[in-house]
Chain A
Amino acid sequence: MHLDPELLWLAGGIIGLLVLSSTITFFLKLRSGGKPNAVVANLDARVKAWWVMVAVFGVALATGVIGSVILFGLMSFFALREFITLTPTRAGDHRTLFWAFFIVTPLQYYLVGMEWYGLFTILVPVYAFILVPTRSALAGDSEHFLERTAKIQWALMVCVYCVSHVPALLTLKIRGYEGQNSKLVLFFVLVVQISDVLQYVWGKLLGKHKIVPTISPNKTVEGFWGGVLSATGIGTALWWATPFNWWQAGLLSFLITLMGFFGGLVMSAIKRDRGVKDYGTLIEGHGGVMDRIDSLCFAAPIFFHLVRYFFT
């Protein structure tokens, strides 16, 4: 089997980062001297969960389109589950929800897997858009009808449609980059997630001025710029693994970190509105699946379209 050395460098870099994070956490735990410290305990849980997530993601990516479609399909399913649980629906939506979970979600990923671009880009915005209100109307309950329909449609858009654009990156035919798309996925996920982590780190170190305190008390101007700029720097420095040159890689990194911030902010607004801190409890230290992929939601379709438009 031929192993792409660039891919190995990326993987090695990520593992190096994890080792570094685990080492730092270890010394922080030593310094707190056995006294329970909430921030360190949370950091420890987060780093451990990162190891697991990286391992799962690595296995998925190594098995190509099929593995990635299955992994992201499952993440969409779990995210949708968390999202709909938080969103009040009524008995009349039951069969609509059954369709959303067991027909629309698998079909979206099936279409991505078979590389049917023309249909997977319109399945949720057009066909689910018609299916959802029709099925709920057939159930005969008109109470809060528009609200319920809008919530289910939005849940499908954000949890399923948007997220499915990550594995869809594997199906892009980029000139001179054939068979190397897993590096593109790795680049995308790495830049968006590291921007999240770095915004958290910069925010903890220097954060003073809150951006939108009514929505997310942890997001600060210092954290935002520190995270976005340093993640953009990392993205730029990784240009060699992508089909882009250095400034293209930098510009795209800047755009996706920005989109990542917007995604996180919007998902926070929804959590605030529902009066919860996290979407779920599946991932130790992080919350639910939706809490971890909130920044991917808006960034994925934008990145997909930009790459498809300019590089294929």
Chain B
Amino acid sequence: MTKDFAAWIIRVICGVKLLPAEALPATPAIYFANHSSHLDFTTIWAALPSPVRARVRPVAGKDYWEKTARRRRIARDFFNAVLIERQHVTIASNPLEPMLAALDAGDSLIVFPEGTRSLDGQVHEFKSGLHHLARARPRVVLVPIYLQDLNRILPKGDFLPVPLLGSLSLGQPLHLAADETKAAFLQRARAAVQAMAH
């Protein structure tokens, strides 16, 4: 109930509509999107229909979301986020492990392959994480999403939102092709997001 209400509030603030269940692929899926605002993962989370939302986990940087107790509560307890290591990656803290574990448990993921929020509104080069996920779990569908104007609602570094009308576009699901190189795949995935920019 609280989560449905929170999702409604987020949709009202960002001007984004609830996605119809039939527009979404079978779960688990990996939703990947461009990244420009803290609102990005909350918006995708809020736009998913309630049953899908219950099984989706945003992937976020541990360094940022574990800095304060409040951030940890928001990320861990409320959004059930998968927090991954971005800075001191070792074999012991391999960021892929917790993501694969979530997928294997039947959960879907929300990821931002650019790795960090873009300041200029452009979709930057994708980091290789998406490719690792696609190769490790080839049956999981990858769903491109383009988020528009969320950086104008809540830009990086600001905490006061301006309630403009954002938008969320859902693209055609894709898979890693059999003989596709990492660079080609990442380029194709990025192009699928960029193609929805208008």
Kindly report which residue of chain A lies nearest to residue B152, judged by CB atoms. Answer: A89
Q: How many Å lie between the Cα of A91 and that of B165 in the bound state?
A: 16
Contacting residues, chain B, for A185 (C-beta < 8 A): none
* Contact of A222 with B by CB under 8 A: no
Q: Which of A68-125 contact B (CB under 8 A)?
A: 81-82, 84-85, 89, 91, 94-95, 97-98, 101
Q: In the complex, are the beta carbons of B155 and A81 less than 8 A apart? A: no
Contacting residues, chain A, for B15 (C-beta < 8 A): 81, 85
Q: In the complex, are the beta carbons of B149 and A85 less than 8 A apart? A: yes
Contacting residues, chain B, for A223 (C-beta < 8 A): none
Given A91-B155, A94-B155, A81:B160 Cβ within 8 A: no
The 10 closest A-B pairs by CB, nearest first: A85-B165, A97-B162, A85-B164, A98-B160, A91-B155, A98-B162, A94-B155, A94-B158, A84-B164, A81-B163
Could you mark each residue 130-149 of chain A with 1 if its beta carbon is under 8 Å from any beta carbon of chain B, else 0?
00000000000000000000
CB distance from B48 to the nearest CB of A (A): 20
Contacting residues, chain B, for A82 (C-beta < 8 A): 165
Contacting residues, chain A, for B155 (C-beta < 8 A): 91, 94
* Contact-residue bracket for chain B: 10 to 19
CB distance from A96 to the nearest CB of B (A): 9
Contacting residues, chain A, for B165 (C-beta < 8 A): 81-82, 85, 280
CB distance from B23 to the nearest CB of A (A): 17
* Contact-residue bracket for chain A: 10 to 19
Query: Chain B interface (Cβ within 8 Å of chain A)?
Result: 15, 119, 149, 151-152, 155, 158, 160, 162-165
29 examples of A-B residue contacts, CB within 8 angstroms: A81-B15, A81-B163, A81-B164, A81-B165, A82-B165, A84-B162, A84-B164, A85-B15, A85-B149, A85-B152, A85-B164, A85-B165, A89-B152, A91-B119, A91-B151, A91-B155, A94-B152, A94-B155, A94-B158, A94-B160, A94-B162, A95-B158, A95-B160, A97-B162, A98-B160, A98-B162, A101-B162, A101-B163, A280-B165
Kindly report which residue of chain B lies nearest to residue A100, judged by CB atoms. Answer: B162
CB distance from A282 to the nearest CB of B (A): 9
Contacting residues, chain B, for A101 (C-beta < 8 A): 162-163
Contacting residues, chain B, for A89 (C-beta < 8 A): 152
Contacting residues, chain A, for B149 (C-beta < 8 A): 85
CB distance from A82 to the nearest CB of B (A): 6
Contacting residues, chain B, for A95 (C-beta < 8 A): 158, 160
